[in-house]
Amino acid sequence: MSADSPTPGPDPAPKAAPGIVRRVLRRARDAAAEDLRTRAGAARDAARRAWSARPSPRRGIAIAFAAALVAAGAGGILWQARLPGRLPSALDWAALSALLERDARPGDAVAVAPAWAERARLAAPARVPVLAQARFDRAELTGVRRVWLVALPGAPGRASWLDAELDLIARAARPAERMALGRLEVQRFELAGPRVPLAFLPDLLARAEVRRGDQPCPAGADGAPACPGEPGPSVRRSVRQVEALPRPCLVAAPADAPLVISFPSVPLGSALAGHLGRAGDPPPPTTGALPARVALRVDEQEAGTVELPLAGWRAFRLDTARFAGSAREVELTLTAPAEAGALCLDAEALP
């Protein structure tokens, strides 16, 4: 072989026979299919055993109910554990008290949201009333010029907080001033059209004369009119619970005769508006609806009468337009059955 001739390379590998490849692939496929059939059979057998060992329907319901109770209990415990971190601290309430003591003025009131946040009554000064109600769109805010909305954003009941805020925004003369006191949020609303009464009759009780029927009720040792017989003192200025809310009113017990309350020199306007309800929440039990009657006399002239069922906190309105612009003697006569118990009556002269 000459030097110019090419060197022969290695011999090429022999090609696999197509039949061998097919047999290998077929065996692998058959093995995979057999493994899948084995696994499926084992799963079916396990499912059959589980189904055959299933509890009876009653036992299944009991197990599901127990699991639901455990889940609910765990959720409640977790919610309760997180709640203190969402509520205001004692320092937050103290800051609110200091703010109201410094800036509140006559004609102010505090509204709380949610309405169950009764601790605001301890924080608010005694001269500032607290309005604990869910909505304020139709609330009678007589004598209120500004409302301090004290909200607990992290407390349950956020929807009621937003409702109260929207109601007061609709009634405000200008945007509210907003401030944060820890976990409390405070907004002060100036009402666009405050209704200021000419007189609030429960506040005039000290100057009034009271009698039950024809018998006078002189002031007792505590200053409250004490009428002869039972149930003792007949009229006193107090705050009583009616329909789940505190109401400043005259607490009266007409009992066996009409109760007459005469107020000297009351400035009158367009109307005398008020409410009547059974004191206590819930009130003492009775059978059937109990009627009551409120009659108004001005300078010994009949000025109107209203009949009210003693259920809830009933509003009434008596026209006094013909006496507007003058101070007159006003006499209210309250008539109700003895089983009604103590009644809560308020009345105010509207301009």
- Residue 305 reports pLDDT greater than 70: yes
The average pLDDT across 302-328 equals: 91
The average pLDDT across 22-35 equals: 77
What is the per-residue pLDDT for 85? 57
- Residue 9 reports pLDDT greater than 70: no
What is the per-residue pLDDT for 149? 92
Q: Which tens digit of pLDDT belongs to each residue from 125-149?
A: 988 988 877 788 877 787 888 999 9
Strand pairing class (199-200; 209-212): unpaired
What is the per-residue pLDDT for 1? 47
For the chain, the first-to-last Cα distance in angstroms comes to 136
CATH of domain 199-350: 2.60.120
Distance of CA 48 to CAs 60, 98, 320, Å?
18, 72, 87
What does the alpha-carbon distance between residue 1 and residue 5 come to, in Å, rounded to a whole number?
Answer: 7
Domain spans, the chain: 44-74, 90-190, 199-350
Q: What sign does the dihedral 151-156-161-162 (CA atoms) show?
A: positive
The average pLDDT across 188-192 equals: 91
Of these ranges, 68-77, 194-203, 229-238, 261-270, the one predicted with the greatest mean pLDDT is 261-270
Sheet holding 177-181, edge to edge: 130-131, 108-113, 146-151, 184-190, 177-181
Asked if 108 contacts 143 with a C-beta cutoff of 8 angstroms, the reply is no
The average pLDDT across 233-260 equals: 81
List, in sequence order, every residue forming a beta bridge with 318; answer none if it has no partner.
272
Q: Which tens digit of pLDDT belongs to each residue from 84-112?
A: 556 888 999 999 999 999 999 988 999 98
What does the alpha-carbon distance between residue 98 and residue 84 come to, in Å, rounded to a whole number?
Answer: 23
What is the per-residue pLDDT for 51? 73
What is the per-residue pLDDT for 288? 58
Q: Is 84 exposed, middle or buried (0-12, 13-18, 19+ CB in 10 A)?
A: exposed
The amino acid at residue 238 is: S
Omega into 231 within 30° of 0, i.e. cis?
Answer: yes
Neighbours of 200 (CB within 10 A): 16
- Residue 63 reports pLDDT greater than 70: yes
